[in-house]
Structures are given as C-alpha cells and as structure tokens.
Amino acid sequence: MSAIRYHLLHDTIYRYTHPVSESRQMIRLSPRILEGQRCLSHRLQIDPLPSRSEDWADSFGNLVRTIDLESSHEHLLIRAESWVELTPPEHTEFDASPTWEHVRDTLAYRAGRALSPEILAASPFCFESPHIRLKREFAAYALKVFTPGRPLLAGVQDLMARIFNEFTFDPEATDVATPVTAVFAKRRGVCQDLSHVMISCLRSIGLAARYVSGYLLTLPPPGKPRLVGADATHAWVSVFCPGAGWFDFDPTNNTTPRLEHITVGWGRDFADVSPVRGVILGAGSHTLDISVTVVPESEFSLIYENGTSIDLMT
Amino acid sequence: MPTLLDTYSSPAGRHDELLDDGGTVRSQWRPLIARLEGLGLDGICARAQLVSDSIFSDGISYNVHAEDHEAPHAWELDPLPLVIAPEEWKYLASAVAQRASMLNAMLGDLYGPQHLLAEGLLPSALVFGQPSFKWPCVGIRPPGDVFLNTYAVDVARGPNGKWWAIADHTQSPAGAGYSLQNRIILSKTFPDAFRQLQVQPLADFFRTLLDGFSRLAPTDGEPPLIVLLTPGPGHESYFEHAFLARYLGYPLVEGRDLTVRDNTVYLKTLRGLRRIHGIFRRLQSDLCDPLELRADSAVGVPGLLAAARAGRVLISNALGSGVLESGAIFGFLPGIAERLLSEPLAMPSVASWWCGEAAALDHVIEHLDELVIKPAFSDMGQPAVFGHNLSGAERDEMIAKLRAQPHAYVAQEWIPMSQAPVWGGNGLQARTVGLRLFAVATGNGYTVMPGALGRVAASPHQEILSMPRGGISKDVWVRASSPVRRVSLLKRRLGVIDLVCGGTDVPSRVGDNLFWLGRYTERSEATARLLRATLSRLSTGDNDDESSLPDLLAACHHMDILAQAPESDATDDAIEKDVIAAVCDPTQIGSLANMSQQLVYSAGQVRERMSSDNWHALNRMSRLFDQPFQSVGQALAAVDRTMLDCISLAGFALDDMTRDEGWRFLILGRRIERLYRLAALIEVVLGYDDDARERSLEWLLETTNAIVTYRARYRRSPEVLPVLHLLIFDDTNPHAVVFQINQLDIELDRISRDVGHPRVDALSVMRTALNQFDLTRFEADDTREACHALAAVLAKIAGDTSALSENLHERYFTHTAPDVRKH
C-alpha cells in the first residue's frame, strides 16, 4: 500500500447570547508531523480577527495557537484546514514483543538506576492524570488478558478487543465530565471514554499509555454520498514498548490504526489535548457547533465542487 | 504560694524546651522566667489579658471553616514566647537556608533538564504522578532562576533534642504575617524582657523580601509595581493577606483586578491599565490561570502562565512549585543534596519510606505498628493513619491498599515531639510544640527569618499541630549574642507625606460594583414605586372601566417587572398572584426580590466601603423576602419597606461616602438607571391610545415621584402637556429626563478630568433632540402625532443610555474600549 492524502476541514463556531468583550483561546488543531504522517499544508482561520495570536508547542510537543480577542464580538469561528499524507507503518509482529512484565519492570523505579531517554520520555504516561485513575478494578480487568509472560503488544491487542466487545458505544451515556470509573461501571461511552478506560487499565498494571487525539476517516452509509461535516474528532490509545517506540490501538473500532487515523496531538488524557479551550469575559451563555470533514484526495473534487478552500501544496 | 515553676511538669520521654534533664531552667530562658516570677501569677494573668485584648482590637482572625457566613475565628496566641539560644539558631538558620537552596535547585531541575529523574535519584512517580506537578510550567525559567522566592518548613525536636524537618511549604507558604503580628503584640506585652533578652528583630527579613522582589521583577526600567494576589475575603488566611499587603506596601488584589494583554499583566484601575511587574501570590498554582490550569477557577487570571512563559512577570513562588510538598520525597533528599549542592543535608527529614520501592514496602508492612501511613499524592485527601491504631480487618485492608497501589503511600516514623510551657490561666502547662520557619531568597542563597510561627497542640495529649484544627500559636524569640538595632517597616507615626486624600488607583472592580450598586438601588426604588401603584389599585378592588389597572399592568410588563403580559380575561385572583410574584419571587428576573438580591450582592463586593448604617439597611433588605407572601397587604408592606431602604441608601451615598472616583461611579449608575427608566416608562405611556394615556397620567406622576409638584403647580387633574413638561423638560425637577442628562454631563466631565480619559460624549445628541422638540405640537386637537414623535425621541434616549452604560463598562471596568491606553 502506498501513501494516501487527506483533506481535513474542522469548523468550531461559538455563538454568544450576549456580546463578549474579551476572550482568550488555546487552539490545538494543527496535525503533528510524525514518522508516517506529513502535514502538507495547514491553515487556521479565525473570525473575528484576533488582536493577537501566538504559535507555540506545549510540553508534549503539540502545536498550539493562542489567540486574544479584545473587542466586543458575538460569535467566534475557528476553521482549521489541512492536507495530510499518511504512509503505512511497517508490519509489527505483536507476539514477538517483550513480555508485559519486562516492560513494567523496565518502567518501574529502582533506586539509583538511571533512566534511558526513551524511558524518561515514557514516564509521564504511567500515572494518574485528570481523567485517568489507577485502581485495583482496572488492574484486575487488565490482568484477565495480561496473563503471565504474555507479549506486551499481544496483551494490549487483547485488552482492546475485550473493551470493544464488552463496552457499548453510546453518546448519550456520558459527557466530558463523566469520571472514568463511572464509564467503567456503566460499560458505555464514546471514543474518549473507551480510550480513558483502556489507558487506566494499562497504567494500573504499570505500563505507559497516552491519549491520542485526531481524526478518523469514516465511510458514508452504503449507497450514500460523502457529506461535508459528517465526521467527528476521534481519540485512541498509544502504548509504549521499550526499544520499539509507541504503538497505536483504537478500542472504539478494535483496530490498530494504519491509514485511516490522522493524529493531531497527544497527552496524558483528553485534558492535555482539548482542541479548543478558552476563557471569555462576558455575561450570558453560548451555543457551540462543530463540523468535521475528512476527505481522501481522490474524492476531494467531488465534495468541494466549487473549487478548493485551500490549495494542495506539493 | 507556689512559684511559677512549681506549676510546670513535663511528661517523660520527651525533650523539654524550658527545663534540662536535671530540671533546671535552660540558660536562654532564665531572664524571661525571672521576669515572669517577678510579675507573679496575677501579673501574668493581666499580661495574658493584654494579649487577647490586642488580638481583639486588631481584628486578627483565622477563618477555621472559611465560609462566608461563618464568623472569623479569633487568632490564638499564647502569652509566653518560646526562647531559642543563639548557637542553636545558627544551626537551624543554616540548615533551613540549605534546604531552601536544595528545593529551589530541585524545581529548576524538574521543570528543566530532569537530571534527578534520569539518574534515578528521584522516582518519576513522585513528580509526574503528583497533581501539583504542572505540565504547562515545564520549560519556564522564572526571573533569576528563582522558583522559591519564599519557603517555609515545619520542624520539631525529637527526644534527644535533635531537630527534624516535618513538612515543606513550597507553594505559597502561609504564616509569616501571623508571626509578625504575634511579635508586635508580645514585644508590647513584655517590653523589658524583650529588650533584656536581645531578641532578634523580624523587620530585616521582610526588607530582604521586598528587595528580592524588586530586584528580580522584570521591570524594563519602570519602578516595580508588585501586588499581593489573594483568593478573597473567604480564604482562611485573608487576615494575613491584608496584613502583609499593608506591611509590605503592596496593593491587595483579586484575580478579577488583573488582566493579561500582550503577555503582560495589568492592574485594572479606573484610571486605566497599570503594568504589574511582580505577583506575590497567596493562591495555589492550580487556581492561578483558568486557561491553562484548572478551568473552573474563578479567582485566577487568564493568560498568567503565558506572561510567566514570556518572562514578563515575577510570580512568587513560581507556578508549579507545590510539587515538592509531599513527604514521599523525604527519603531521596540526602542523595539529592549531594548531587545538587555537593554537600550533605544538614537537617534530617522525619524518616520516611515511599512504598513504591519494593524493599520499602516490605519494611513498612513489617513495621506497620510503628509508622504513620500518609498519601504520597496531594489530591488523595486521605488523613494520616497511625499503624498502631489499626487492628483486624482495618489492618488487612490497609495492607491490601499498600500492596495494590504502593506508589501512592508513604510511611513515616512517629517522633515524640518536644514540650514547651504555655500559659494555662493559673500556671504553666506542657504542650507539644513545633515551629514553622520562613526563608526568603537573597541574591545569593536564602536568609531565614530569626523567629518562627510556634504552633502548640490545642490540648495536653494532642500530637497534631494545625491551625485549622484549632491550635494555639506562639511567638518565637531568637536571642542575639550582641545588642540589636530596632527597626520596623511600620512607621511609628504618620507624617504629612503619608496623608491620603481621596483614593488613588481605585481598582476597576470597585468602580464596577459601585456603578451597579447605584443602578440596582435606583432600579429597586423605581420598581417598588410601580408595584406600589399597582398593588394599591388591586387592593381597592376598583375594577370598573375607568380603572387604570390594565395600563399599569401593561407598563409593568414593558418594564420587565411582570413576567407575562396580562391577559384581558385574567381573573382578579390570577392578576393578584402575578403581581405578588413580581414582588417576592427571587427566582423571577426583574422581580423586586430579585433586584434586592442583586443590590445586596453588589454591595457585598464593596463591603469595605459601606458604613455599618448601610449594612443595617442592606441586611434588612436581604431578609425581607425570606418568606413568600400570601396577601396584597403583605406585599404592599414589603414594597414600602424596600422603598424606604432604597431612599436611605441614596441618602447615605450623598451624605456619608467620600467623594472619590469610586463614588462618582455610584452616582453615574443611579443617574443612568433613572434616565433609562424614565425615558422607557414615558415612552410606554405615550404609546397608549388616547383614553388609556389620559387615565395613566395620574399613576405616571405618582410613580415618578412628581405628583406633589404637579398639584402644587397646576392645582387641577393631570393633562398631557404639563405632565410631559414636568417629567421630561423641566430641569429643576430631579425626576425629569433633562435633569438626569445635565447631572450626567457634570459627572462625566468630572470623571474624565480626574482619570484622564477622553470625554464619553453621548449626551449632547440627547439634549439637542429634546431642545428641538416643539412642545406646541401638543396644543393641537389630535395629539397622536406629537405623542408618536416624542415617543421616538425617548426610545432613542433609552437606547443611547444603554449604549452609554456599555461604553463606560468597556472604558473603565474591562478596559476593552478600542482606544484604551496602557501605562
């Protein structure tokens, strides 16, 4: 399989019931550059025009734009548009990975033992974080598949399958504030919840796992055309294997991402990579509309008949 | 008659601060004890009374529960100081300075290269697993690489007389202000003993603190402006925040007083934005920036972290420095001291075992009975558990917890802490004592405050020392080996240069709240007048065709007082219910009860500016609507009461309050509200058909407080032309439209001169429109066209008044007007 290119269009629109006089937003919508993922072009458009904006990288290396709006406004539109090229990862034999106990012991602290740079870099993803809990029930759930001597990646794949089979995808069951323990008890949730459950399980047995935020190419229902705004942001899990790096697993779809997952960024959990986070000064409430469209290059002209919104740079 | 010492006995197995093993008074205490013996028990009683009187008159408090309605808990200070010998102090001071240097270097490493983790000297769990490790702060270098500008450590003495570090305070150490306050009181209580003992003064320490902030703050050549950031009056240590701010000469601000523009922090004042160069924060890191830290924090400053990242502001202590407050790191500190400072750790920490290491876990389970188990992470919210208090199932459960999540627990040795004498009312009693010592960064390491906040257990057998649990504090006297120079940052007496006239730099928040207090007071009063007119017509049962009740109800609805428009076929009972709800239902927006709530809230935000007379009226007001009303009579009484209270508040504002910049905004708020409501109400009546308009003139005069003037002038029933003239065009009537415009003009002029902003000019358009209106049009037989034209003029005035209010808001309160100046 050769490289494949996608066009991403992600609109976020806030409409305020009362004028907002001051607003400061942090935007994480720019795809990261990775092995196997190139960002060919990227543009953020903001309306109204910010009085100031700043691009920087956060502590996890994600690209961030901070914007300030200092005059009265009644809506805020953030449009992120990108062309991304994916190349397929090399095949990994999961059964050939080191045992999970070996990985756990490599990550564990021993007095005076130096940490290699890759272990130090994986350590932030071993502990509790705002949405991740380390608990006996998560460990027990994980240990059902992480039997003694099980190769790490084979175990992770089994855990993913177990969550996929035992949890129901249900957008009504949770919201962003539902704790991971409640998701675990209900056995229901969305991609964000299932990822948090899987990460909690992995970290509870001493492994390193991080939260990946991005997009997934979705297929339109059979016989139906692809529609603008029909997609959504997606989240999955990445697991650290010493000496080999990080491997992605998508518990919502029971799949290991190859050519249909586009990575925007990662962190310990959702809180680190929230796409738009901000503080406004003003009374009243707001409505929020989000629209995401992921289109393979081959279908691009079909969808955007009236020309492109940004040109493909090659 | 027993001597003082006869009353004192100390339990065995502990170090005693006063007596040596042979029972003789230690040499550093002798002059004090001799002095106390001289005073006799009665004399000491009198001094103890002096101490509590001082605490009362200075209003020193510590809010145990820190809830709004809870009365602040008076501070408790033992009249006897704890005395420390010079040679002992030398050790403590150097050990604490060393510890501060080490912890500062640790923060630099953990938020920077992380060598300590890479080299295995500190487990990553105790850093990355710690919620107080702030990821957004990674890579930020604070000014001068100082993370810990201030530091405190709790120390205690074991049975062999050795000092141990019990807890580190690296976030925003509290207590230095209280120890200063203790010192001020005790040095007055025992002035001669204080002199004779050559007690080292505290003022130099605070001067070092001031110098450090001024030196480190990035000022770009401006004179440094440093503020003390408090979470507000609800915080347990608010007294200390206010006291320290006054002592150090720093403005006391809340998060809402600050704004970040272009990565620079500004104080919002009525005169404009003033750049802040340093923030002495009394707010935990988490709450400091809702954009990058805890999103639900209402007391922080959005963008503060970005300003720190850009190196535009000094924040003391650096955000994220709370990560070192866990006792779980104690066991690693000796190795870290060697690595970072190349010297051994001078003062040991209480022996600790972090269970995340397999060997430590085994040791802890084996010796559980001798240990205290504590959470390793700051957010676990579990109390310390004494191993020897556990048995059976509890013990098994604790071991299971330790085995399941070993990294989450630390076990510490239990130290029988030393005893010191406290005054028990008729003699001395022995209590467990610990010290909180304070250090501040100098250009070259740390200097330690020669003194401490002594903390004494609340009862003879208690081990835990904490202010929230009702402990007692002690002043700590460190003796100098040579005579000392007395200085204080507090001036003895004020000079001419210290006299303050009016307020300078009134924070925008204060102006904002006073402005709304003015608006709500006026709105409540106007609402009460309309409701009174309505209720009195309801209560007479006068419901024939001539009644103006339906017109009044319609007007109430237009003015957003009644939630629904009255229906033509509504029963009397239904109408009565609606009107009573408009009086007393606080959940209904626009109701009188709701308005009073807003009024009381705005007043509460500027509590310190309101006299106690104001508070009598406000307290009455806030209780008035506690119970729902059933009858028209009850509602009428409440309406009358509210009107009187509003009138009192207006009177206090005119007669009692200093006319500083804040006051002008209160008056502006009143005038703007009155202008808006007059214009809107008259516009409503002008829109009625001829009959209804005629009928409405009477209540219009009544609700605009002009009926008496009208009757005196015209001695006949109300007619359209004279009524409109009186309510709109008569510049001698304080309830006329044009009167409000003239007064606003004067106030705005004054404000723009005082605070140096360009004039907000919206009034000349209004005045021109009124001047150009030809009143003779109302002499025509058919006045409908004239009514229509005048209604349009009034509608524009009401709209422009709202815009004016918005404009003032942006210019003076949020500083978001397009031409806002930064200086």
Instruction: Please name the residue of chain B whose CA is at the shortest distance from the CA of residue A112.
Output: B120
Using only C-alpha atoms, chain B has a radius of gyration, in whole angstroms, of 34
Pick the CATH number of A4-87+274-303 from 2.60.40.2250, 3.50.50.60, 3.30.200.20, 2.50.20.10: 2.60.40.2250
User: Would you state the structure tokens that stand for residue B194, as one six-digit string?
Assistant: 């204080």
Tell me, yes or no, if A111 comes closer than 8 A to chain B by beta carbon: yes
- Long-range contacts of B765-769, Cβ-Cβ distance < 8 Å, separation of 24 or more: B765/B800, B766/B741, B766/B796, B766/B797, B766/B800, B767/B738, B767/B741, B769/B793, B769/B796, B769/B797
Mutate which of B407, B516, B813 to disrupt the A interface (most A C-beta within 10 Å)? B407
Indicate whether B207 and B341 sit together in one domain. Answer: yes
pLDDT value for A102: 97
Indicate whether B244 and B302 sit together in one domain. Answer: yes
Indicate whether B169 and B115 sit together in one domain. Answer: yes
pLDDT mean across residues, chain A: 92
Indicate whether B562 and B511 sit together in one domain. Answer: yes
B302 to chain A nearest CA, in Å? 7
Query: B302 contacts in A (CB within 8 Å)?
Result: 24, 279
pLDDT averaged over 10-residue windows placed end to end, chain B, 823 residues: 80 91 92 92 92 81 50 81 95 98 98 97 96 96 97 94 95 93 92 90 93 94 93 84 88 92 93 93 94 91 96 97 95 97 97 93 94 85 84 91 91 91 91 95 94 88 59 92 71 55 70 93 95 86 68 93 82 88 91 92 79 79 84 91 91 81 91 96 94 93 93 91 95 95 92 77 89 92 92 95 90 73 41
The answer to whether the bond into A48 is cis (omega within 30° of 0) is yes
Residues B406, B354: Cα–Cα separation, whole Å:
8
Amino acid at A56: W
B556 to chain A nearest CA, in Å? 24
Looking at the domain assignment, is residue B371 inside a domain? no
Indicate whether B467 and B519 sit together in one domain. Answer: no
CB contact under 8 A, A71 and B816: yes
Tell me, yes or no, if A177 comes closer than 8 A to chain B by beta carbon: no
Query: A52 contacts in B (CB within 8 Å)?
Result: 262
Looking at the domain assignment, is residue B33 inside a domain? no
Q: Is the pLDDT of residue A311 over 50?
A: no
Residues A241, A152: Cα–Cα separation, whole Å:
7
Q: What angle do CA B188, B192, B194 make, to 5 degrees?
A: 70
Quote the longest CA-to-CA distance of chain B. Answer: 112
Looking at the domain assignment, is residue B26 inside a domain? no
Instruction: Please name the residue of chain A whose CA is at the shortest distance from the CA of residue B121.
Output: A112
pLDDT value for A272: 96
Q: Is the pLDDT of residue A312 over 50?
A: no
Q: B728 and B682 in contact (C-beta within 8 Å)?
A: yes
Residue with tokens 């917890």: B401
pLDDT value for B541: 60
Task: Delimit the domains of chain A by residue range.
Answer: 4-87+274-303, 94-272
Q: B228 and B252 in contact (C-beta within 8 Å)?
A: yes
B124 to chain A nearest CA, in Å? 7
A194 to chain B nearest CA, in Å? 22
Indicate whether B132 and B173 sit together in one domain. Answer: yes
Query: B129 contacts in A (CB within 8 Å)?
Result: 126-128
Pick the CATH number of A94-272 from 3.10.620.30, 2.60.40.10, 3.20.10.10, 3.40.50.720: 3.10.620.30
Indicate whether B573 and B551 sit together in one domain. Answer: yes
Looking at the domain assignment, is residue B148 inside a domain? yes
Looking at the domain assignment, is residue B368 inside a domain? no
pLDDT value for B518: 94
A180 to chain B nearest CA, in Å? 16
Answer with the one of B589, B621, B654 that is the final residue of a domain: B654
pLDDT value for B457: 85
The answer to whether the bond into B317 is cis (omega within 30° of 0) is yes
Instruction: Please state the ipTM of this predicted complex.
Output: 0.94
A40 to chain B nearest CA, in Å? 28
pLDDT band at A306 (very low <50, low <70, confident <90, very high): low
State how many domains chain B has. 3
User: What is the extent of the structural domain holding B673?
Assistant: 659-823
Query: A111 contacts in B (CB within 8 Å)?
Result: 120, 357
Indicate whether B249 and B207 sit together in one domain. Answer: yes
pLDDT value for B510: 86
CA quadruple B392, B398, B403, B405: dihedral, nearest 10:
160
pLDDT value for B66: 40
* Cα–Cα nearest to B537, from B690, B696, B691: B696
Indicate whether B597 and B697 sit together in one domain. Answer: no
How many residues does this entry show for chain B? 823
Answer with the one of B630, B654, B678 that is the final residue of a domain: B654
Looking at the domain assignment, is residue B366 inside a domain? no
pLDDT band at A71 (very low <50, low <70, confident <90, very high): confident
Looking at the domain assignment, is residue B406 inside a domain? no
Q: Which residues contact A307 (CB under 8 A, 6 or more apart)?
A: none
**Candidate from A70, A124, A279 with C-beta closest to B291:** A279
Pick the more confident residue, A28 or B54.
A28
Looking at the domain assignment, is residue B40 inside a domain? no
Indicate whether B671 and B557 sit together in one domain. Answer: no
Answer with the one of B599, B626, B654 that is the final residue of a domain: B654
CB contact under 8 A, B357 and A279: no
How do residues A85-144 score in pLDDT, each as one tens digit? 999 988 999 999 999 999 999 999 998 899 999 999 999 999 999 999 999 999 999 999
For residue A22, give Cα distances in angstroms to A25, B166, B255, B498. Answer: 10, 45, 15, 38
**Candidate from B114, B120, B136 with C-beta closest to A113:** B120
CB contact under 8 A, A120 and B129: no
Using only C-alpha atoms, chain A has a radius of gyration, in whole angstroms, of 21
CA quadruple A123, A125, A131, A135: dihedral, nearest 10:
-70
**Candidate from A123, A139, A279 with C-beta closest to B128:** A123
Indicate whether B556 and B681 sit together in one domain. Answer: no
CB contact under 8 A, B120 and A124: no
Instruction: Please name the residue of chain A whose CA is at the shortest distance from the CA of residue B114.
Output: A120
User: Would you state the structure tokens that stand for residue A120, as one six-digit string?
Assistant: 């130090």
CB contact under 8 A, A70 and B131: no
Q: B546 and B695 in contact (C-beta within 8 Å)?
A: yes
Indicate whether B125 and B197 sit together in one domain. Answer: yes
CA atoms within 13 A on the CB side of B608: 8
